[in-house]
């Protein structure tokens, strides 16, 4: 299904549309950018959601988005999530 990174944008939108509990504030799933989908998945998703997301867009791209979004002082990531995925991506997204 989504085993290679860099799949089409429609796959990431299908992924989030199937998980409305991750982004409950909109029904316009096709209008969401990758940053919003990665943030919602890492903050609110379970481990299977995270693994599926990284299969869709790739571990490297997921890590790149996360690093870019957490590099500023203001971030919407929960502190525990930011700490965990900082360590996780440092080890696994090389």
Asked whether residue 1 is domain-assigned, the answer is no
Confidence tier at 73 by pLDDT (50, 70, 90): confident
What pLDDT score was predicted for residue 8? 57
Range of the domain at 68: 9-92
Q: What mean pLDDT value characterizes the chain? A: 91
45: left (phi over 0), alpha (psi -120 to 50) or beta: beta
Asked whether residue 55 is domain-assigned, the answer is yes
Asked whether residue 2 is domain-assigned, the answer is no
For 27-69, the pLDDT digits (tens) are: 999 999 999 999 999 999 999 999 999 999 999 999 999 999 9
Asked whether residue 54 is domain-assigned, the answer is yes
Asked whether residue 68 is domain-assigned, the answer is yes
For 78-91, the pLDDT digits (tens) are: 999 999 999 999 99
Say if residues 35 and 65 touch (Cβ distance below 8 Å). yes
DSSP 3-state of 69: helix
Asked whether residue 72 is domain-assigned, the answer is yes
Q: Which two tokens stand for residue 28?
A: 């316009």
Q: How many residues does the chain have?
A: 94
Asked whether residue 3 is domain-assigned, the answer is no
Residues 14 and 53: their CA atoms lie apart, in Å, by 11
Asked whether residue 88 is domain-assigned, the answer is yes
Please state the domain count of the chain: 1
What pLDDT score was predicted for residue 5? 46
């Amino acid at each position: 299904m989504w085993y290679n990174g860099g799949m089409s944008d429609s796959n990431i939108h299908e992924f989030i549309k199937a998980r409305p509990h991750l982004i409950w504030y909109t029904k316009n799933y096709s209008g969401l950018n990758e940053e919003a989908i990665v943030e919602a998945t890492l903050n609110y998703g379970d481990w299977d959601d995270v693994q599926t997301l990284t299969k869709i867009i790739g571990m490297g791209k997921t890590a790149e988005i996360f690093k870019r979004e957490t590099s500023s002082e203001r971030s919407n990531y929960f502190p525990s999530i930011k700490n965990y995925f900082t360590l996780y991506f440092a080890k696994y997204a090389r």
